[in-house]
């Protein structure tokens, strides 16, 4: 259930909007002036605010400014109600920090559409990884759960960048971020090719996920591995790339030689075993990833598909 705050000094408008948002998906909060709006926001942290620009005590413009300045409330979507039926009025509302606007008299269906659209955008924004823009952990788990529920065969690939920490320590955080973004670009570039059954996500750090069809998983993993191995040349200086390794400190602070970055891709499927929940998928993926990392002398990225039975 999402909380919507309706802030308007007109009781009739509050009544209409309260009726509009009545139902199991919304909890409606009301405020008839700017002061009560500010207090309500601080006490309830609504998921959406519908705010009249012209309100007593504290005007809507000032209220919106306070909402945007507070780190706890700055991300709350705000729809402003304006009496200006002109492009200038609309622009003013958006320039003040609003996410959208509605004009008086307003259309109920338009308000609901805008409200639901902003809520969904907010969910996606909060769930996406800020560095890569790929879906984050909550959406990855949701996508996997949907595949499990569907009952059809699928493949879950856990992708880890080996030797990333050493690279990050040696080349710095900016180059480390570049390596992460480069990996994300490779995963994104395959959307068009495998559009009907392809999902890419970023768990965090140097860990990524791809969910695909069982039939295409090895082809996809091979393509990701090849593209990554070609792309890393741009990330190293000429001497390090030619040597095939870098010298950096290990976790104990001792100098050590680390190979160039490469991918370990663990492929988990429900082809021969039952995957009843997300945690089981991750456990199996970690087993495969650990096995892949045990090949110390290997060169380049590698993938392995789990072929074991329950």
Of 206, 216, 215, 211, give the one whose Cα is nearest residue 301. 206
The model's pTM is: 0.66
Query: Structure tokens of 137?
Result: 């952990």
Instruction: List the strands of the sheet with 207-212, edge to edge.
Output: 198-204, 207-212, 155-162, 262-269, 302-305
**Separation CA 309–CA 91 (nearest Å):** 61
Q: Is the pLDDT of residue 20 over 70?
A: yes
pLDDT class of 56 with cuts at 50, 70, 90: confident
CA dihedral 282, 286, 288, 292 (to 10 degrees): 140
* pLDDT attached to residue 160: 98
Give the range among 7-16, 55-64, 245-254 with minimum mean pLDDT.
Answer: 245-254
Instruction: Tell me the domains of the chain and their CATH numbers.
Output: 2-127 (3.40.50.2300), 137-305 (3.30.70.270)
- pLDDT per residue over 86-105, tens digit each? 554 455 556 667 888 888 78
């Amino acid at each position: 259930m999402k909380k919507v705050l309706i802030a308007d000094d007109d009781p009739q408008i509050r009544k209409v909007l309260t009726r509009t948002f009545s139902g199991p998906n919304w909890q409606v909060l009301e405020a008839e002036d700017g002061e009560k709006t500010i207090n309500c926001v601080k006490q309830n942290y609504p998921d959406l605010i519908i705010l009249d620009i012209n309100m007593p005590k504290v005007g809507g413009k000032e209220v919106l400014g306070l909402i945007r300045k507070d780190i706890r409330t700055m991300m709350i979507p705000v729809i402003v109600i304006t009496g200006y039926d002109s492009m200038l009025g609309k622009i003013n509302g958006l320039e003040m920090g609003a996410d959208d606007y509605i004009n008086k008299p307003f259309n109920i269906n338009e308000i609901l559409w805008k409200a639901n659209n902003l809520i969904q955008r907010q969910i996606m924004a909060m769930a996406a990884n800020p560095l890569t823009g790929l879906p984050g952990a909550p959406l990855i788990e949701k996508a996997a759960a949907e595949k499990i529920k569907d009952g059809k065969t699928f493949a879950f690939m856990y992708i880890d960048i080996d030797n990333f920490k050493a690279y990050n320590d040696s080349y710095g955080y900016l180059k480390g971020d570049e390596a992460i973004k480069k990996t994300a670009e490779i995963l994104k570039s395959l959307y068009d090719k495998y559009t009907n059954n392809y999902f890419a996500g970023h768990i965090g750090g140097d860990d990524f996920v791809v969910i695909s069809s069982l039939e295409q998983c090895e082809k996809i993993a091979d393509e990701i591995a090849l593209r990554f191995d070609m792309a890393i040349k741009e990330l190293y200086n000429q001497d390090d790339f030619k040597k095939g390794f870098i010298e950096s400190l290990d976790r104990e602070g001792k100098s050590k030689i680390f190979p160039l970055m490469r991918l370990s891709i663990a492929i988990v499927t429900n082809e021969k075993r039952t995957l009843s929940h997300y945690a089981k998928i991750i456990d199996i993926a970690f087993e495969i990833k650990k096995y892949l990392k045990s090949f110390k002398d290997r060169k380049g990225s590698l993938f392995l598909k789990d072929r074991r039975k329950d």
